[in-house]
């Protein structure tokens, strides 16, 4: 029995320690934008993407995205240009209100209009791990 607990703990530690885009970072982001209901609405996820918009013109340019990604210490900054392309769902080299609904639908796995922490983490890791 004791061995099982030790093994379970070791496994747990492994899972927790996985970089997967900086676990702590991810929790912080999610909590910051999701609010008390612990789910992201479309507007809340938009707010997250728009925090990259340094000049406040309502669109995230590639340059804003790249530099924001590095500033935030998000995972795999060398791939930020590729992440930008993935997120640019209506391809015009900016991320704006045309792209956000598509991104939201991709992240809202079950289509209930909310992105839970599990959905957020799952997609974050899928899109932003190398």
Contact with Ca ion (CB under 5 A) among 3, 4, 55, 130 = 55
Tell which one of 29, 30, 49, 53 touches Ca ion (CB under 5 A).
Answer: 53
Region 56-95 residues binding Ca ion, contact defined as CB under 5 A: 57, 59, 88, 90, 92
What is the residue-wise DSSP string for 46-78? HHHHHTT-TT-SS-EEHHHHHHHHHHTT-S-GG
Q: Does 99 bind Ca ion (CB under 5 A)?
A: yes
Q: How far is CA 43 from the centre of its chain?
A: 14
Does 44 participate in binding Ca ion (rule CB under 5 A)? Answer: no
Which residues are at the interface with Ca ion (CB under 5 A)? Answer: 53, 55, 57, 59, 88, 90, 92, 99, 108, 110, 112, 114
């Amino acid at each position: 029995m004791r061995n099982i607990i030790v093994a379970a703990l070791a496994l747990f530690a492994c899972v927790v320690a996985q970089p997967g885009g900086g676990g702590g970072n991810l929790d912080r982001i999610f909590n910051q934008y999701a609010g008390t209901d612990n789910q992201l609405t479309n507007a809340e996820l938009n707010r997250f993407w728009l925090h990259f918009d340094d000049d406040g013109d309502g669109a995230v340019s590639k340059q804003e995205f790249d530099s924001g990604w590095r500033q935030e210490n998000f995972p795999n900054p060398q791939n930020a240009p590729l992440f930008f392309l993935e997120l640019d769902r209506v391809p015009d080299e900016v991320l704006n209100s045309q792209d956000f609904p598509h991104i939201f639908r991709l992240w809202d796995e079950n289509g209930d209009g909310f992105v839970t922490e599990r959905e957020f983490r799952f997609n974050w890791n899928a899109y932003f791990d190398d």
